[in-house]
Amino acid sequence: MADPLAGKRILLGVSASIAAFKAVALASDLIKTGASVDVVMTPNATRFVAPLSFEAITHRPVLTDLFDPAAGSIAHVSLGVDTDAFVVAPATADCIAGLALGLAHDALLATALCTRAPTLVAPAMETLMLEHPATQQNLETLRQRGVTIVEPAAGRLASGRVGRGRMAEPADIIDVLRAKIGRPADLAGRTIVVTAGGTQEPIDPVRHIGNRSSGKMGYAIATAARDRGARVILISAPATVPPPSGVELRPVITALEMKAAVEDAVQGADALIMAAAVADFRVASRAEQKIKRTGEELTLHLIPNPDIVAGIRSDTLVKVGFAAETSDLLAHAREKLIRKGLDLIAANDVTAPGSGFGGDTNQLVLIDRRGTEVLPLLSKREAADRVLDRVCSLLAERKASLPLDATQNG
């Protein structure tokens, strides 16, 4: 499946901040998604980055001058109208004030007034300017108008001071854009609980029993569900990659912590997707102090952890499990589907090329009570969307088969 932004027309507005150089990377990353990108710059932005930099990447003329006869007298109107999303990055305090007031004295602001497309604003400025009540009020005005503010991060600023005001990273801006326009919002209004990562079971204060889960598959599902409009509660055991933005993150370490978090999160949820690798055993009694080397053998007494997903009983919740197997994939997965009371299980052979731990691809077999679908080798994001396609169908079937009084409440 193509990137959700493929084929979209994105208008990038660049105002006069040192972060304008990051807008070049943003334009380049947007092009890589398959989107087409037009750029409009304020005159002062061209003092930081030449329009030619953007033209070289986008292969389109850049609008910088409202009164440039070569650009056509209504370039700002056609650019504003013919776009699927308007992304202002970086947005200076001055630009944000202009957007909030509806000023139109430069090409960027005039174009903004002509667009009705979803708009994202990524502020970039000194902390003092960002935190000034005037800027905060302008940002609030934009939010109330439905503009999405991609919050700036903390870090070293142009002044050398450290504080909030650095423009969000291009990858984060693109993530937010995907969430806003990338897909039909077929999970809007749904709450999806996703578990990810590998639980760790402590042996003593410095050691644990762990597993090789990277968290990537669960995070891809959380990201995809977010992009399809769901409210996502991500219960994450330790992982090797950063969690996605725009989800409710509930970090846990052990299987018992994950169990408690899942039991809490599924109240009122529509689906539970258990992508976490949960340790089947924990140490019976964790040592209070670091266990010292004695030269003797050490025996750990392990006791079973509860099966989290099997313990969740609900008529309305769609339950999806994962099965990472090294042999007899289908037989093991079918047995788990029944034993754990799942609606769907996504099985993969972790010894197959491209499907091992930590990679960016996966080859899943989706098994439900009706049958088996073998998916091709896909990126984890694409595989996540295929799992969610099935979750959407299961949710629709569930609603259709519920008694009338239950559907009325939901």
Count of residues touching ligand CTP (by CB under 6 A): 15
Stretch that binds ligand CTP, among 127-135, 217-225, 276-284, 369-377 (CB under 6 A): 276-284
For the CB of residue 311, give the shortest distance to ligand CTP in the complex, in Å. Answer: 8
Stretch that binds ligand CTP, among 60-68, 163-171, 316-324, 373-381 (CB under 6 A): 316-324
Residue 121 near residue 156 (C-beta atoms within 8 A):
no
Q: Which stretch in 99-107, 124-132, 147-155, 270-278 sits in contact with ligand CTP by CB under 6 A?
A: 270-278
Q: Which residue type does 409 have?
A: N
Give backbone dihedrals phi and psi of 364, rounded to 5 degrees, phi first: -105, 150
Q: Which of residues 239-258 bind ligand CTP (CB under 6 A)?
A: 255
Q: Site residues for ligand CTP, window 335-394 (CB under 6 A)?
A: 336, 340
Q: Is 167 in the site for ligand CTP (CB under 6 A)?
A: no
238 binds ligand CTP (CB under 6 A): no
Identify the sign of the CA torsion 232, 236, 239, 243: positive
Pick from 187, 194, 276, 384 the residue near ligand CTP by CB under 6 A. Answer: 276
322 contacts ligand CTP (rule: CB under 6 A): yes
- Please tell me which residue in 44, 138, 211, 348 is annotated as part of the active site: 211
Separation of alpha carbons 338 and 334, rounded Å:
7
Cα 153 to its chain centre, rounded Å, is: 17
| The only residue of 309, 383, 388, 394 in contact with ligand CTP, by rule CB under 6 A | 309
Residue with tokens 């932005």: 45
Residue 265 within binding range of ligand CTP, rule CB under 6 A: no
Cα–Cα distance for residue pair 337/386, rounded to 1 Å:
18
Helix (H, G, I), strand (E, B) or coil at 373: strand
Q: Does 237 bind ligand CTP (CB under 6 A)?
A: no
**Smallest distance, Å, CB 255 to ligand CTP?**
6
**Piece of 100-108, 222-230, 318-326, 381-389 that binds ligand CTP (CB under 6 A):** 318-326
Q: What is the dihedral of CA 232, 235, 238, 243, to 10 degrees?
A: 10
Closest distance between ligand CTP and the C-beta of residue 335, in Å? 9
Task: Count H helices and E strands in the chain, helices first.
Answer: 14, 19
* Residue among 19, 41, 323, 337 that touches ligand CTP (CB under 6 A): 323
- Give the shortest CB-322-to-ligand CTP separation in angstroms: 4
Residue from 65, 126, 172, 307 binding ligand CTP (CB under 6 A):
307
Q: Is 305 in the site for ligand CTP (CB under 6 A)?
A: yes
219 sits near ligand CTP (criterion: CB under 6 A): no
**CB-based contact 354:377 (threshold 8 Å):** yes
Looking at the Cβ atoms of 117 and 278, the one nearer to ligand CTP is: 278
* DSSP result, 54-114: HHHHHSSPPB--TT-GGG-TTHHHHHHHS-SEEEEEEE-HHHHHHHHHT--SSHHHHHHHH
Stretch that binds ligand CTP, among 2-10, 126-134, 201-209, 273-281 (CB under 6 A): 273-281
Nearest distance from C-beta of residue 340 to ligand CTP, angstroms: 6
341 contact partners, CB below 8 Å, separation of at least 6 = 310, 313, 319
Buried-exposed string 123-147: b where 16+ CB fall within 10 A, e elsewhere? bbbbbebbeeeebeebbebbeeeeb
Contact in structure between 19 and 167 (CB atoms under 8 Å): yes
Our finding on whether 280 is near ligand CTP (CB under 6 A) is yes
Question: Segment near ligand CTP (CB under 6 A), from 51-59, 172-180, 303-311, 358-366?
Answer: 303-311
CA distances from 145 to 56, 100, 118, 141, 188 (A): 34, 9, 10, 6, 20
Q: Residues 102, 108, 111, 113: what is their CA dihedral angle, to the nearest 10 degrees?
A: -10
Closest separation in Å from C-beta 354 to ligand CTP = 19
The minimum distance between CB 393 and ligand CTP, in angstroms, equals 19
Annotated active-site residue 44? The verdict is: no
Query: For residue 179, which phi and psi values (nearest 5 degrees)?
Result: -60, -35
Residues labelled catalytic:
211
Query: What does the binding site for ligand CTP look like in residue numbers (CB under 6 A)?
Result: 255, 274, 276, 278, 280, 305, 307-309, 321-324, 336, 340
